[in-house]
Structure 1
Amino acid sequence: MDTSESTNEERGSEPEAPRRRGWRRWAMDTRPLRRPAYRRLWGSTVVTAVGSQLTAVAVPKQIYDITGSSAWVGAASLAGLVPLIVFALWGGAIADTMDRRKLLLITNSGIAVTSLLFWLQAFVGLGSVATLMLLLSVQQAFWGLNAPARTASIARLVPEDELPAAGALGSTVMQTGQVAGPLLAGALIPVIGLPELYLLDALALCVTVWAVYRLPALPPLGGTAVRRAGVKEIAAGFRYISGHTVLLLSFLADIVAMVLGMPRALFPQLASQTYAPYGEGLALGLLFAAIPIGAVLGGLFSGTFSRARRHGLMVIGAVVVWGVAVTGFGLSDSLWVAVAFLALAGVADMVSMVFRGAILLSAATDEMRGRMQGVFTVVVAGGPRLADVLHGTAGSAFGPRTAVAGGGLLVVAVMLALAAAVPALRRYRV
């Protein structure tokens, strides 16, 4: 079977949907869900988006209950970041050398077993921070191996013109999980207890494993030659990025937005000082929830942008809007105005994610998509953490509002300068 026939089989042969009219043009574009294989992959994400957040809440809660120290909670976050970065880069190389369905089966099973071990240690009352940090490191390593293969597989399951819609569907589910998961965890802990949160996540992952099992085989295209997945292949991925200006700029756009313009490290100080009259707890909760809520709204109305073909311009525009919104947030005295600006930033972040993801999947060849997604995972995980350091330092030196507004203005200036100096991104279209 040749490559084109194999790809058609993976995507399915659903007929084209009629052009949407009226209000349906504004609603989420669900065309990819007509593809059975993509529908299975997306359905597994729906289940685990919430389940993974239960563990994300349970681990720091258990560590704090054991130690009574937020410093240990922060150390655990760092313990999870390092293996995530290392194994995401390696996982991207592996995803380019083997059947991605098989890799997803192995890694999802590994994550499920890790969640079961989380439950076991909590159930027996082990009370060991070292064990929790070890399990977290193993879980994040499996996630790093899993994420590049999962995202790189999408381009084999849907046609190129549906990649933005598929990205919007996936990102909306993940953002919804970030809102609903912690709320559900907070409600369930007093009712069923903390150990059972881990068990619920493990059960949800069993659904994911079954959905992945039903995917078609996704072997490397272009022959059956076995390739290695070592340091040389990872380095080849970085050389590939440096040699393709559009890919390089798509990564730089995210780094600019997240490192210079993600102000979450200053939310606690702003809640206790600038927005204290509204109630510190209410202000803090709204500030953290606003960006994900905006992203979810952007996803629900992604029909307004997911069919655009000027992907490069959409990325540039989204990053600029993100910077403007963050600047407005930094200048806001009213909590509700501040939340509105952050929600607008969330919408812009959704648009940026959708089209950066589409560029990575369409501009890279299949043999490089795993490594591109590995680097993408590292950028997404590392950028906000660098922003925490930068904004925390700037907030202490210049004040939180000045640091936030200044960061937003820097995002706008740097992104526009990049777009003007290097025209490849603004000219890129699918």
Structure 2
Amino acid sequence: MSRLTRLLPDLAPWRSSRDFRLLWLSGAVTTFGNFLAFVAVPVQMKELTGSPLAVGSIGLVELVPLIVFGLYGGALADSFDRRKLLVLTETGKGLLAALMLTNALLPHPMVWPLFVLAALNSSLSGLQRPPQDSIVPRIVPHDQLTAAAALMGVMWQLGGVAGPSLAGVLIAYAGLECAYAINIVTFVVSVALLLAMRPSPPAHDAEKPSLRALAEGARYAWSRKELLGTIAIDLSATVLAFPIALFPFLADELGAPWALGLMYGAFPAGALLVSLTSGWASRVHHHGRAMIAAAALFGLTITAAGLVRQVWLVLLLLLLAGGIDMVTSMFRITMWNQTIPDEFRGRLAGIGVLAFTVGPQAGQIRAGGMGALIGVRAAVWTGGLSCVAAVGLLAASLPRLWAYDARTNEHAVRAREREKAVA
């Protein structure tokens, strides 16, 4: 029984920090609502245009605002009250959801507002993510940050599983309007929870948002080779070994078109399983080595998924890959939260938004292009092997990442001492 208990998520951040509880609940509610809209908008675009190109173009109009405003949001998070930024962006997203509902209720809904509102919503998401990420180290004790990363993972994954599932049922039986209306309610609840949090003001000498401030953040990131290594490891997986674009074709080649939905759900389901059994993670101190090992294992798992021919084995491997990817993300977030000075956290989170947005998009392009050149299954397994090779090269060329130990790293020690001094 004790071994089982040690596997359960570490709830210490939930118990020790009222603000973390409020942030988690707000994020869970709004993530669920966001995924309702994530499904509803493409469905509505399909109904209005019947064009796959139009549906795909939604992602295109969302990408650039997310990158630009993600970087700017990082500078804002270091210069303004982070809780206030969360409240303002969440309120703005709620107003956009109301406009989505208004358009859907028109006798003849229009197409162009879907593109405009999607771009505006993506801009607000870019502004919101850095303060959301960078506020966690302020409200959670230093030694509980790994547990906090796992619990935030549970939040995202629960929304990612429940939101799309319910959205399909709602749209089929109650219409798009119902999904949009529930989305509005989730923003109202989320804003109320955020308002109950304590303010999170910037340091008194914080620099105003500017290109100079962004450049300072980039210079700091460049000076921390172990942080750059975490980005490079993550990009190795997302660019080289994320075969999501090939799932429709892979399902056909396996003679199992019925398994397509299960393929899409396997990654988040695997991540959720790891998050729900993450009690062991707080006892890991060599986070860089854990990331390297997990990313290499992820590549090997995707390689196997491209080679086997049994659909249930493919689904099992994708489920395993999703769990392994969560391990990589969990320790990357922990390293960042435990070592980055508070005055740089927002800007580094903005750089993270840039890297972790471009990576999956580039991975989709790579997978599709390689699938056209060498075939679907070959594109999957060669991508996995490429990931393993890239991770091996990074491990050899980034000794600071391999040597990282949260107990002795100078930046982690300095952050702990600063926290004690403030307390």
Say whether the fold is shared (TM-score over 0.5): yes
User: In the alignment, which residue of structure 1 is the partner of 2:239?
Assistant: 259
Scaled by the length of structure 2, what TM-score is found? 0.93
Q: Distance in 2 between matches of 1:320 and 1:326?
A: 10
Conservation of the 8 A alpha-carbon contact between 1:91 and 1:149 = yes
Match of 2:47, as an amino acid? D
SS in 1 for 2:79: coil
> Could you report, residue by residue, the CA deviation over 1:243-289 in whole angstroms, capped at 9, with x for unpaired residues?
1111111111111110011011111111112x11x3x1x22111111
Match of 2:161, as an amino acid? V
Conservation of the 8 A alpha-carbon contact between 1:89 and 1:371 = yes
Conservation of the 8 A alpha-carbon contact between 1:313 and 1:426 = yes
TM alignment of 1:9-408, pairs within 5 A: 21-34=2-15, 35-221=17-203, 224-273=204-253, 275-276=254-255, 278=256, 280=257, 282-408=258-384
> Could you report, residue by residue, the CA deviation over 1:34-83 in whole angstroms, capped at 9, with x for unpaired residues?
11110110011121221110000011011110000010011111101111
Count the aligned residue pairs: 405
Q: Return the offset for 1:135.
A: 0.6
Distance verdict in 2 for CA 1:375–1:125, change over 3 Å:
farther
In structure 1, the gaps of 5 or more residues are 1-19
> Could you report, residue by residue, the CA deviation over 1:290-339 in whole angstroms, capped at 9, with x for unpaired residues?
11110110111111323311111111111111111111111110011101
Q: Distance in 1 between matches of 2:325 and 2:100?
A: 32
Q: Distance in 2 between matches of 1:122 and 1:230?
A: 39
SS in 2 for 1:320: helix
SS in 2 for 1:305: helix
Conservation of the 8 A alpha-carbon contact between 2:233 and 2:295 = yes
Q: Return the offset for 1:193.
A: 1.2
In structure 2, the gaps of 5 or more residues are 407-423
Q: Distance in 1 between matches of 2:137 and 2:114?
A: 36
Match of 2:267, as an amino acid? I
Q: Distance in 2 between matches of 1:126 and 1:169?
A: 43
Conservation of the 8 A alpha-carbon contact between 1:261 and 1:407 = yes
Identity of aligned residues (%): 38
Q: Distance in 2 between matches of 1:177 and 1:380?
A: 19
User: In the alignment, which residue of structure 2 is the partner of 1:16?
Assistant: none
Conservation of the 8 A alpha-carbon contact between 2:39 and 2:167 = yes
Q: Distance in 2 between matches of 1:175 and 1:301?
A: 14
User: In the alignment, which residue of structure 2 is the partner of 1:17?
Assistant: none
Conservation of the 8 A alpha-carbon contact between 1:161 and 1:307 = no
Q: Distance in 2 between matches of 1:194 and 1:357?
A: 36
Conservation of the 8 A alpha-carbon contact between 2:236 and 2:391 = yes
Match of 1:292, as an amino acid? P
Conservation of the 8 A alpha-carbon contact between 2:28 and 2:158 = no
Q: Distance in 1 between matches of 2:3 and 2:269?
A: 25
Conservation of the 8 A alpha-carbon contact between 2:247 and 2:260 = yes
User: In the alignment, which residue of structure 2 is the partner of 1:412?
Assistant: 388
* Cα RMSD (Å): 1.3
Match of 1:202, as an amino acid? I
Q: Return the offset for 1:126.
A: 4.4
SS in 1 for 2:229: helix
Q: Return the offset for 1:180.
A: 1.5
Q: Return the offset for 1:420.
A: 1.6
> Could you report, residue by residue, the CA deviation over 1:92-120 in whole angstroms, capped at 9, with x for unpaired residues?
01000011011111111111111111111
Q: Distance in 1 between matches of 2:68 and 2:163?
A: 27
Q: Return the offset for 1:176.
A: 2.1
Conservation of the 8 A alpha-carbon contact between 2:226 and 2:398 = no
